[in-house]
Amino acid sequence: MLCEAKYIDNQKTLISRMRISTEMAKAINDQISYEASSATTYIAIGSWCERIGYDGSAAFFFEQAAEENGHMLKLIHYLNGVGAEAIIPAIEKPPSSFESLESTFQFGLKSEQTVTKAIYDLVDMTEKEKDRSTYSFLQWFVNEQIEEETLFHTILQKFDLLGKDKLAVYQIDQSLTSVRSQVMSKQGASRQV
């Protein structure tokens, strides 16, 4: 009983030290879940690509997974830093096989669009709550999502331009090592203008 009372006291102290609202902490924890789920899904896609022999795409999706993991860590550090509690989520099993290489990028684009919407909802919430700290923190994610969506659009455009026969798909797979750096340098240049 004493232990329980002490635990409740500790929780109360922790909540009183939080520099964001409990609703905001919950919403950011939900975002941690999205990022963790994206990371796991990209690993599953990368693994499928590796098994099939799409080596360029496998490397691309494994790197994408590492980025999502990085996003999740950023959110965890932020929550812990403002005195809230970051909750590490359980993740649902992702799909293990895909229809085609193109479908994996369509899947990726859809997933990024969902994450972008979630980030925008979070930004809306910071504006409503006048939470300047979280608003400022989230600007990095807003820019990152523009980059992520552009990346997937650029790759899907290659399927439209080159076609979907075996040779075209092979060429697209091989070109993926450079596409990320091309998109990032273009985005970087547009931000400097």
DSSP 54-76: -HHHHHHHHHHHHHHHHHHHHHH
Q: Which is nearer to Fe ion, 71 or 158 (CB)?
A: 71
In the complex, which residues of this chain contact Fe ion (CB under 5 A)? 35, 68, 71
Residues, the chain: 193
Instruction: Write down the least CB distance from residue 168 to Fe ion, Å.
Output: 29
Of 68 and 173, the one with the shorter C-beta distance to Fe ion is 68
Q: What number of H helices and E strands is found in the chain?
A: 6, 0
- Return the residue nearest Fe ion (CB atom): 71
Q: CA 185 to CA 150: how far, in whole Å?
A: 12
For residue 192 the two structure tokens come to 């400097």
Residue 68 or residue 131: which is nearer to Fe ion going by CB? 68
* Closest CB 35 distance from Fe ion, rounded Å: 5
Residue 68 Cβ vs Fe ion, minimum distance, rounded to whole Å: 5
Measured from the CB atom, the residue of 131 and 148 that comes closer to Fe ion is: 148
What is the Cα–Cα distance from 99 to 103, expressed in whole angstroms?
Answer: 6
